[in-house]
Amino acid sequence: MNIKFEDALKKLEKIVEKLEGGDVPLEDSLALYEEGISLFRHCSAKLEEAKKKIEILSKKGPEGALEPEPFQKEKYGLAEEEEVLEDKEIPF
């Protein structure tokens, strides 16, 4: 599923409203429920991914100070020959 978190959440909220309304025929309700479950799983996965990124960025060392994680090229799928900018080279 290639949809932004916010868009998926809005779509899921609309589905929940329709289902809670009780005016949807059974067959349509099942189709909406199936779509809702798919959107829910997508949103949950996106939230988990964001949580893990925040944990990595907020990792604290033994003294309580933030401790950056070393950059690993292979973790992010970068080839060996690709150049990574040093902090002093970043334009902002």
- Full-model pTM: 0.61
Give 34-41's long-range contacts (Cβ < 8 A, gap of 24+): 35/11, 36/12, 38/1, 39/1, 39/8, 39/9, 39/11, 39/12, 39/15, 40/12
- Per-residue pLDDT tens digits for 32-84: 999 999 999 999 999 999 998 888 877 766 666 666 666 666 665 554 444 44
pLDDT of residue 57: 79
pLDDT 10s digits, 5-38: 999 999 999 999 999 999 999 999 999 999 999 9
How much is the pLDDT for 81? Answer: 46
Domains parsed from the chain with CATH numbers: 1-60 (1.10.287.1040)
